[in-house]
A and B are shown apart, each in its own frame.
Chain A
Amino acid sequence: MKATVLKIAMAAGLMAGVATGAIAQQKNVTIGVSIPAATHGWTGGAVYHAQETAKALEKAHPGLKVIVKTSPDGASQANALDDLTAQKIDALVVLPFNSDELTDPVRQVKNKGVLVTVIDRGLKDPSIQDIYVAGDNPGFGRIAGKYFADTLKQGNIVVLRGIPTVLDDERVTNFEKAIQGSGVKILDRQYANWNRDDAFKVMQDFLSKHPKIDAVWAADDDMALGVLEAIRQAKREDIKFVVGGAGMKEMVKRVMDGDKMIPVNVTYPPALVATAMHVTAANFYTNAPMRGTFVLNAQLITKDNAKDHYFPNSPF
């Protein structure tokens, strides 16, 4: 629901933005975007979408300048925020490295009268942010769990967890809640650190340990790839499907092509950076109210809607 509302709001905002932009000719606005550097697949995707969106927004709104800065760690991100403020920005879109380190630097930016949009990882003090755009981790687990309960109905599955974090915990507990009461039983769960090699090893061991596994929740596309290779090596026919997550382009492609082993995927899109940038720009170029919290629902990618989630040029 929320996602639909948001989409409508965004579409309206964009159209209005184009219209007023044309009438008012020029309104000079500078938006600074500070995101983590591409250190793994997901952040790589975030950087790609930020750069693409910056180009698209500047084209749509003459007079708008978007500066994208990436930083390899929390301390350099704080420096990057200083640099951005020095360039007299009107709004800041920030995906903080971590909540603790960056709360104060962002507050300082805010105190200069800059509109602040925070993405994904919240700050310690939520009163700093004007706009908050986040992905939905509990939903990520719930939707995957619901798919297992509905499709498998009856059977034994194994679960691969990510890196021990709050985020991983929210996903897994909600997955468990969603399959509660159905005939789906978790045989085993183990951390594989969102890493292909670790997932390959853990899956090899699961296959040695359990003579019959009906399906696998790999919870991440990198891990799903490792899992698939282990299953292929063991030549096991009992596993009906593997569900990953996060919408890596290779995996979305397989869903699109109707691969039986990869029937669906669950989104946790790095493109939420793009959403945040659009909403922030709309704040300046439309009269629509934009302040508040936007939660992007985790969506189930199926064969039918896969093409909407397929970005062949993104590195992720």
Chain B
Amino acid sequence: MTETVLPTRAEKRKFAIDMRALSPFIALIVLIIAGALINPDFLTASNLLNVVTRSAFIAIIAVGATFVIASGGLDLSVGSMAALTAGIMILTLNSQGSADMGTLALGMLAAIALSAACGLANGLIVTFGRIEPFIVTLGTMGIFRSLVIWLAAGGTITMRNLELRELYRPVYFGNVFGIPVPIIAFMVVAAIGALILYRTSFGRHVVALGSNEDVARYSGVPIWRVRTLTYIIQGICVGIAVLVYVPRLGSATPTTGLLWELQAITAVVIGGTALKGGIGRVWGTVVGAVILELVANIMVLSNFVSEFLVGAVQGAIIIIAMLVQRSVHRGR
């Protein structure tokens, strides 16, 4: 008798979890319908591809942020880190004369190495310094930002070699079978992220650490290592985002990546990851990043929102989207 009862229960619970994970996708569909009603041009393939391509930087960074936040941490330095990494990458490219693949590979390597090192620094200070991640990354945010301003002497760091710039340009503007390269990049990053978070013991350690640090410690989770690794993953994600960012405008300025940290955190939360840790949803995060970019796009395409009120309407839409998600949870 009991055997027949138990499976049905389990099935019910599984369905409920699916609903929760689905809610960002529902919000996305609602937004797309709203956009189509506001302006028919919204649904053109070129507009939608533009928007999804643009969301690539935040989406990739937010995949890393999903790890940090799911483990109960926070990284405010990602925007400044992206600017610094972009600056160093361009300076590396400029220091090499020739426009060939070797130069590009060197620049990319420099970018990933630097961003991983920045992440490692954040992680080590948080774990070994035993300081709140909010404070640590607020500090490194200022440090990274000042360094890029200093490197640029307040101006712009630009790729000088035009041939190299043309060689690199397809990484943002090119496509494979009609799909823009940045979209492929963030899908691959999200797939790898999901694999690590859901299918490895490290991923389970991250979530365990976020839901209850003490229990995780008593259960033998190597807390310091796991925590530091989440910041390194965040750093590497920033590096990958920069690889896609640099070919777009070929320059880094003191305003590059400004407020990206807030956008990344917003994307993570819209995606269903708990800000207090313990739950991580990689695919939801990606959808969250696309939602953010869609809202901005709909604002520009609409004719009835004055440019003075764009920020207010944007904020309201995000809050309403979150309320819709919550009501979906309750209605299960």
B118 CB to closest chain A CB (Å) equals 20
B179 sits at the interface (CB 8 A): no
A204 sits at the interface (CB 8 A): yes
Assembly CA distance A208 to B310 (angstroms): 18
Decide: A191 and B307 in contact? CB cutoff 8 A. yes
Decide: B253 and A204 in contact? CB cutoff 8 A. no
Assembly CA distance A229 to B247 (angstroms): 11
Residues of B in contact, count (CB < 8 Å): 31
B177 sits at the interface (CB 8 A): no
B149 sits at the interface (CB 8 A): yes
A136 sits at the interface (CB 8 A): no
Decide: A44 and B152 in contact? CB cutoff 8 A. yes
Assembly CA distance A168 to B38 (angstroms): 29
Contact status of A205 and B307, CB under 8 A, knowing A38-B153, A39-B149, A226-B249 = no
Residues of A in contact, count (CB < 8 Å): 40
A178 CB to closest chain B CB (Å) equals 19
Decide: B249 and A250 in contact? CB cutoff 8 A. no
A200-218: contact bitstring with B at CB < 8 Å (1 yes, 0 no)? 1110111011000000000
B41, B44, B154, B301: the one contacting A38 at CB < 8 Å is: B154
CB proximity to A under 8 Å, residues B233-267: 248-249, 251, 253-256, 258
Closest to A72 in B: B146
Contacts of A315 in B (CB 8 A): 152-156
B137 CB to closest chain A CB (Å) equals 20
A190 sits at the interface (CB 8 A): yes
Assembly CA distance A43 to B255 (angstroms): 13
B47 sits at the interface (CB 8 A): yes
Contacts of A40 in B (CB 8 A): 154, 253-255
B96 CB to closest chain A CB (Å) equals 21
B44, B154, B300: the one contacting A39 at CB < 8 Å is: B154
Closest to B158 in A: A250
B50 sits at the interface (CB 8 A): yes
Contacts of A209 in B (CB 8 A): 39, 41, 300-301
Assembly CA distance A193 to B46 (angstroms): 25
A/B pair count, beta carbons within 8 Å: 99
Decide: A202 and B253 in contact? CB cutoff 8 A. no
CB proximity to A under 8 Å, residues B172-216: 173
B296 sits at the interface (CB 8 A): yes
Assembly CA distance A195 to B50 (angstroms): 18
Of A204, A250, A316, which is in contact with the most chain B CB atoms at under 10 Å from its CB? A204
B44, B155, B301, B308: the one contacting A316 at CB < 8 Å is: B155
Contacts of B297 in A (CB 8 A): 201, 205
B227 sits at the interface (CB 8 A): no
B281 sits at the interface (CB 8 A): no
A31-54: contact bitstring with B at CB < 8 Å (1 yes, 0 no)? 000000111110111011000000
Assembly CA distance A41 to B307 (angstroms): 25
Of A37, A164, A233, which is in contact with the most chain B CB atoms at under 10 Å from its CB? A233
Closest to B300 in A: A205
Contacts of B46 in A (CB 8 A): 208, 234
Assembly CA distance A205 to B41 (angstroms): 10
Decide: A229 and B248 in contact? CB cutoff 8 A. yes
Closest to A314 in B: B155
CB proximity to B under 8 Å, residues A19-73: 37-41, 43-45, 47-48
Of B46, B154, B255, B296, which is in contact with the most chain A CB atoms at under 10 Å from its CB? B154
A110 sits at the interface (CB 8 A): no
B324 CB to closest chain A CB (Å) equals 24
Contacts of B41 in A (CB 8 A): 208-209
Contact status of A164 and B258, CB under 8 A, knowing A206-B300, A209-B300, A226-B249 = no
B156, B158, B173, B307: the one contacting A161 at CB < 8 Å is: B307
B47, B249, B296, B300: the one contacting A229 at CB < 8 Å is: B249
CB proximity to B under 8 Å, residues A158-176: 161, 164
Contacts of B39 in A (CB 8 A): 209
A254 sits at the interface (CB 8 A): no
Contacts of A37 in B (CB 8 A): 149, 154
CB proximity to A under 8 Å, residues B256-297: 256, 258, 296-297
A189 sits at the interface (CB 8 A): yes
What are 30 contact pairs spanning A and B, CB under 8 A? A37-B149, A38-B149, A38-B153, A39-B149, A39-B154, A41-B254, A44-B254, A45-B155, A47-B153, A48-B153, A189-B307, A191-B310, A196-B249, A196-B251, A196-B253, A197-B249, A197-B256, A200-B249, A205-B50, A205-B301, A208-B50, A209-B301, A222-B253, A225-B249, A233-B173, A234-B46, A248-B156, A315-B153, A315-B154, A316-B154
Residues of chain A having any CB pair with chain B under 8 Å: 37-41, 43-45, 47-48, 161, 164, 188-191, 193-197, 200-202, 204-206, 208-209, 222, 225-226, 229, 233-234, 248, 250, 314-316
Closest 4 CB pairs of A and B: A38-B154, A44-B154, A315-B155, A205-B300
